[in-house]
Amino acid sequence: MYKAVYRKIEEIASSLQQVDPGLAELFRGCYPNTLETTVELLSDDTSFVITGDIPAMWLRDSSAQIRPYVDLAGDDEDLRRLIRGVVHRQARYLALDPYANAFNMEPSGHGHTGDRPPKGPWVWERKFELDSLCYPVQLCAQYWEATGDRSVFNEDVHRMFSAIVDVMKTEQHHDRDSDYAFERSDCPPSDTLPFGGRGTRTNFTGMVWSGFRPSDDACTYGYLIPSNMFAVVVLKKLAGLAADIYADYALFESASKLAAEIEFGIETYGKVIHPEYGMLYAYETDGFGNHNLMDDANVPSLLSIPYLGYRPADDPIYRNTRAFVLSPANPSYYAGIAACGIGSPHTPSSHIWPIALIMQGLTSTDPGEQEALIRMLASTTGGTGFMHESFHADDPETFTREWFAWANSLFGEFVCRWVEGKAAAVPARP
């Protein structure tokens, strides 16, 4: 099963074996971890993908965990079955509740209880995170580009696309038009929204409001810039699919207009001049002139802008932003004796996320930086042979979430790109 993935593993591991057997072994374990430990193919032809140690399916994680395999699906029917199943289950979930971020396999009522307003039995958690609407579209677009398989685009997916655009349009005017609220008791402040669950006030900018970050922590200000960047990219993809697959030109127009409005908001309200780093993108803003200058380890992040496809790695404002977020000026940046990189308020202080180190490598244009990051990641598994959610910058044996499949899949993607990039850089013999 998944023969194309295991062919890729053998190809990459064989290239590594002669020069670094330890890295080859690490890659062999990490790259297929999602497929081997978190995926269940269901009898209704959908697929359920857990994050690892949490038995729920996040819209974000389920997409991101399998993204590193999608480009191989053209030659592998098992992969196509898996990915179609993920897309179709995501579409069903979004039809049930487009504001939820994580779901149960069955209407069991499992997950967080006591949140207000109450969640439905299918929902594990109902934190509205803008990126949760973006990831399923990205997965559809990447799958279509890799396979040309139209069978994934059923009417459930068509309705999902329409619902995504409708919710984003509503949340452009969150304070005026939205009914969404979220409150949780007896929890850290980052697990609930202030002001009766409505969040801090925002001014209309064209951007889309988000209650929570990809880390599942509450936003300080409602316009989360990296998630809005992601929305711009996927709305353009959605518009193309609406026209080309469904001949739905009204949806094409609506998605295209929304993408332009969000991009205007980012470029008008989302940039600040930093006294040391110059013009850069803020992490969050409220549209009233307040900005949160930081970056978080989870994706979408400011560091991931080229990976998302919003701006290229050599864009001047991205370069300034990158320099800022990879410095002590970013309150989530940590440096220790074992590693240096971006962490998150979601995890303990001085903890660095492998996902952030991997994203630093995937967006780097410097081969030396990429290789140093590969070595850093390989040396900070805490002896487990796998990536984690986070690890202490001075002691990698102190880590959070031993089983966190997204980080493993993404590490595999990074190693593949690194090895293939090195091979491409070798000049041909005369």
Q: Does the pLDDT at position 123 exceed 90?
A: yes
Question: Is 34 part of a structural domain of the chain?
Answer: yes
Token pair of 315, please?
């864009």
Question: Is 295 part of a structural domain of the chain?
Answer: yes
Query: What average pLDDT does range 273-285 have in this prediction?
Result: 98
Query: What CATH number has the domain bearing residue 93?
Result: 1.50.10.10
Nearest to 157 by CA among 95, 91, 80: 91
Nearest to 9 by CA among 413, 423, 422: 413
Percentage of the residues of the chain whose pLDDT score is greater than 70: 99
Residue 400: domain span: 3-425
Question: Is 17 part of a structural domain of the chain?
Answer: yes
pLDDT tens, residue by residue, 101-110? 999 999 999 9
What integer best gives the mean pLDDT of the chain?
97
pLDDT tens, residue by residue, 331-380? 999 999 999 999 999 999 999 999 999 999 999 999 999 999 999 999 99
**Total domains present in the chain:** 1
The pTM (predicted TM-score) of the whole model is 0.97
pLDDT for the residue numbered 422: 84
Nearest to 411 by CA among 382, 376, 365, 383: 376
Question: Is 207 part of a structural domain of the chain?
Answer: yes
Amino acid letter for position 166: D
Q: Does the pLDDT at position 429 exceed 60?
A: no
Question: Is 430 part of a structural domain of the chain?
Answer: no
Question: Is 260 part of a structural domain of the chain?
Answer: yes
Q: Does the pLDDT at position 427 exceed 80?
A: no
Question: Is 306 part of a structural domain of the chain?
Answer: yes
pLDDT tens, residue by residue, 41-76? 999 999 999 999 999 999 999 999 999 999 999 999
Q: Which residues of 147-164 are buried (b: 16+ CB within 10 A; e: fewer)?
A: beeeebbeebbbebbbeb
Question: Is 227 part of a structural domain of the chain?
Answer: yes
pLDDT for the residue numbered 426: 55
Nearest to 2 by CA among 46, 44, 34: 34
The span from the CA of 109 to the CA of 92, in Å, is 17
pLDDT tens, residue by residue, 231-276? 999 999 999 999 999 999 999 999 999 999 999 999 999 999 999 9
